[in-house]
């Protein structure tokens, strides 16, 4: 059974870097045909697709965030990560990791982790 | 970028009602639309992709239709467990934008 679990700091200071990790069990990132990615949801608001990455290196990013975002894979730990630089209060959200079909459709979701950007 | 809008923003209906809500793309996107359900306090779930294909395990009371710029999600007989916000998503080219959602509750 596929499971994804986000981990990382719940509080990040403005202008600093947000770093989250998603640990995958039940599938091998390195051999999977699927993409691995991140979606966020500001409190009380809608969903925002951030980006996704395949183990081959093929990736998709939201162009409006691309300059601040990086998604990477650690196949030895069966994990993938999100880093977002220069965060502001507008980046406060629940961050979900997911397994994606074709880089876009999220068919498995982690439980989500709230990240608050505040000094 | 292609923008996605949804209407209405919220609706209230009775158990057993047929409920339909819409998603509109600012440009034609063929049938590259998915629908997600997010129950209160829960993780979103994929319901429909390719505008009308039900994802595995989704009840048959859900159906989707549309192509081009206009898409609909229909619940043929609203059930209490269908109380949720429903989001459409376009996936013809990044960014794979979500619509703002339609919130459905029971009268």
Tokens linked to A30? 């390195």
Strands B70-75 and B53-54 come out as unpaired
Both tokens of B15, joined, read 């158990």
| pLDDT at B50 (0 to 100) | 97
Question: What pLDDT is attached to residue A105?
Answer: 96
Spell out which residues of chain B touch residue A103, defining contact as CB-CB under 8 Å. Answer: 94, 96
Whether residues A63 and B44 touch (CB distance < 8 A) is answered with no
Contact B71, B88 (CB under 8 A): yes
CB contact under 8 A, A104 and B91: yes
Give CA angle at B91 (A100, B1), nearest 5°: 130
Mean pLDDT of all residues in A14-29: 97
Write the pLDDT tens digit of every residue in A69-96: 999 999 999 999 999 999 999 999 999 9
SS3 category, B30 = coil
Q: Does B100 contact A112 at a Cβ distance shorter than 8 Å?
A: no
Q: With a cut of 90, say whether residue A31 has pLDDT above it.
A: no
Tens digit of pLDDT at every position of chain B (107 positions): 899 999 999 999 999 999 999 999 999 999 999 999 999 999 999 999 999 999 999 999 999 999 999 999 999 999 999 999 999 999 998 899 999 999 999 99
Residue spans of beta strands (DSSP E) within B14-91: 19-25, 33-38, 45-49, 53-54, 62-67, 70-75, 84-90
**Model pLDDT, residue B85:** 98
Instruction: Determine, for residues B98 and A110 on separate chains, whether the beta-carbon distance falls below 8 Å.
Output: no
Q: Do A47 and B87 touch (CB under 8 A)?
A: yes
**Chain B residues within 8 A of A61 when measuring between CB atoms:** 94-95
From chain A, which residues contact B within 8 Å (Cβ)? 46-49, 60-64, 96, 101-107, 109-112
Cβ count near A107 (within 10 Å): 16
Question: What is the rounded CA–CA span in Å between residue B23 and residue B27?
Answer: 12
Any idea how long chain B is? 107
Mean pLDDT within A36-47: 97
Q: With beta carbons under 8 A apart, name residues in chain A contacting B99.
A: 46
Which residues of chain B make contact with A96, given a CB cutoff of 8 A? 43-44
B94 to A63: CB separation less than 8 angstroms, yes or no: yes
β-sheet with B62-67: strand ranges across: B4-7, B19-25, B70-75, B62-67
pLDDT over 70 for what percent of chain A? 100
Contact A47 B34 (CB under 8 A): no
Nearest to A112 among B34, B43, B99 (CB): B43
């Amino acid at each position: 059974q596929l499971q994804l679990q986000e981990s990382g700091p719940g509080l990040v200071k403005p202008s600093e870097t947000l770093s989250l990790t998603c640990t995958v069990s039940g599938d091998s990132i390195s051999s999977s045909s699927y993409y691995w990615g991140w979606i966020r949801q500001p409190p009380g608001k809608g969903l925002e697709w951030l980006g996704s990455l395949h183990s081959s290196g093929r990736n998709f990013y939201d162009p409006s965030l691309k300059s601040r975002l990086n998604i990477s894979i650690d196949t030895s730990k069966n994990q993938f990560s999100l880093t977002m630089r220069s965060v502001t209060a507008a980046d406060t959200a629940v961050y979900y990791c997911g397994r994606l079909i074709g880089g876009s459709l999220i068919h498995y979701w982690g439980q989500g982790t709230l990240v608050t950007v505040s000094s | 970028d292609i923008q996605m809008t949804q209407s209405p923003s919220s609706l209230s209906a009775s158990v057993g009602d047929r409920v339909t809500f819409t998603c509109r793309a600012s440009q034609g996107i063929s049938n590259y639309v998915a629908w997600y359900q997010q129950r209160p306090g829960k993780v979103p779930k994929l319901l429909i992709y390719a505008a009308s294909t039900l994802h595995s395990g989704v009840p048959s009371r859900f159906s989707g239709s549309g192509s081009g710029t206009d898409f609909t999600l229909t619940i043929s007989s609203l059930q209490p467990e269908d109380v949720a916000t429903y989001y459409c998503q376009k996936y013809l080219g990044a960014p794979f934008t979500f619509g703002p959602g339609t919130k459905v509750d029971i009268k």
